[in-house]
Amino acid sequence: MRSYLDVRGRPALAWVGVALVAAALVALPWVLAGIGTAWVRITNLAILYCFLALGLNIVVGFAGLLDLGYIAFYGVGAYVYALLASPHFGIHLPFWAILPLGAALACVFGVLLGTPTLKLRGDYLAIVTLGFGEIVRIFLNNLSSPFNLTNGPQGITLIDPFRIGDFSFATTQQVLGNTLSSPIKYYYFLLAVLLVVIVVNLRLQNSRIGRAWEAIREDEIAARAMGINTRNMKLLAFAMGASFGGVAGGMFSAMQGFISPESFVLVESIMVLSMVVLGGMGNVFGVVIGALLLSYVPEVLRYTVGPAQKAVFGRTLIDPEVFRMLLFGLALVLMMLFRPAGILPSAVRKRELQRRTDGG
């Protein structure tokens, strides 16, 4: 079994490529910081969205289950972190203890939601997950009384950043003569996590489990006839996607230091879904590209659409935020109509298959 990251076979060329990409990724935050620290933060959020999109990709792309409430799991993870590492309850657990807890709880929610609904047809699942997302949001908003669990719409503030011993991700410090700002620290951390997540995704896809998911996506009846326990496999996909969401939520909490139910609305679920669809459902690198595109393009629009309209019409006719949403909507419709396989052409998939046989 070989994956994209496998460089056996043509070592010299491949290593040069890997080294170049690695160097670029290491240098990136310093370049961005030159333009403005905001861009490092934007990049960090983009990486977080990659993470989320890859989690949803397991559910939607691999197993073909349309989950429209994905952001709820993100919310669960975020709140678990916020509650266990903030003055809200006065609990301050270390992040490496909370992240798995958040993942586990999100996973439990995923299984609870999936058990009754996964035997239903796909479009019902979509609606039920949508409803679930709304329920979670409503609860987050209202669980401030009689017992103040979530602090309602005000959200939770002063959430602890990641800390390893005395090394805090929230402070700026000097390392070897360079100023290491908080966003840059998080950048390297997120990048490392993202690499792990990409490898996990690729390995899952090229495994017995991944093939079973793809079989279910392609034809559930045939998959069952081949001995695949479709219910368990779907639950597994659902639970894994949910855990990814939970971990991402914890990181979001720590990075932002503040969360409120506003961050976990349907629009966010749809945004992550758009990333998966745009990049190509089931295609790991496509999904990463989709997530990066849909994270950066709106930011670029923010800095261009508004001023451009002012220059031409003298005032802002269409809010950049609205423009962004229109873009998402159009992306979903046009992708499905004209390029249902996503922006990365299927040649990538073919090449992958080709290489596999060369090796086998």
What radius of gyration do the chain's Cα atoms show? 21
Q: Are 151 and 144 in contact (CB under 8 A)?
A: yes
Span 183-202, contacts to another protein by CB under 8 A? 200
Report the SS3 class of residue 198: helix
10, 19, 45, 117, 341 from 22: Cα distances, Å = 18, 5, 20, 43, 28
Count the residues in the chain.
Answer: 360
Q: Rank residues 142 and 179 by Cβ distance to another protein and give the closer one.
A: 142
Q: Rank residues 66 and 71 by Cβ distance to another protein and give the closer one.
A: 66
* 76 is an interface residue for another protein by CB under 8 A: no
* 87 is an interface residue for another protein by CB under 8 A: no
Q: Which stretch in 167-175, 207-215, 247-255, 307-315 sits in contact with another protein by CB under 8 A?
A: 207-215
Per CB under 8 A, the list member of 54, 270, 292, 344 interacting with another protein is: 270
Say what the alpha-carbon torsion angle 272, 216, 213, 234 is, to the nearest 10 degrees: 70
Q: Which stretch in 20-28, 88-96, 97-105, 205-213 sits in contact with another protein by CB under 8 A?
A: 205-213
* 357 is an interface residue for another protein by CB under 8 A: yes
Q: Rank residues 119 and 310 by Cβ distance to another protein and give the closer one.
A: 119
Span 130-169, contacts to another protein by CB under 8 A? 130-132, 134-135, 138-139, 141-142, 145-146
Torsion sign, CA atoms 263, 48, 249, 241: positive
Q: Rank residues 66 and 85 by Cβ distance to another protein and give the closer one.
A: 66
Report the SS3 class of residue 145: coil
Q: Rank residues 36 and 122 by Cβ distance to another protein and give the closer one.
A: 122
Q: Are 61 and 44 in contact (CB under 8 A)?
A: no
* 31 is an interface residue for another protein by CB under 8 A: no
Q: Rank residues 166 and 358 by Cβ distance to another protein and give the closer one.
A: 358
Q: What are the backbone angles phi and psi of residue 89, rounded to the nearest 5°?
A: -110, 0
In whole angstroms, what is the distance from residue 65 CA to residue 118 CA? 9
Span 240-269, contacts to another protein by CB under 8 A? 240, 266
State the minimum distance, in angstroms, from the CB of residue 225 to another protein. Answer: 5
State the minimum distance, in angstroms, from the CB of residue 323 to another protein. Answer: 8
Q: Which stretch in 16-24, 88-96, 244-252, 317-325 sits in contact with another protein by CB under 8 A?
A: 317-325
In whole angstroms, what is the distance from residue 2 CA to residue 357 CA? 10
In whole angstroms, what is the distance from residue 187 CA to residue 199 CA? 18
* 2 is an interface residue for another protein by CB under 8 A: no
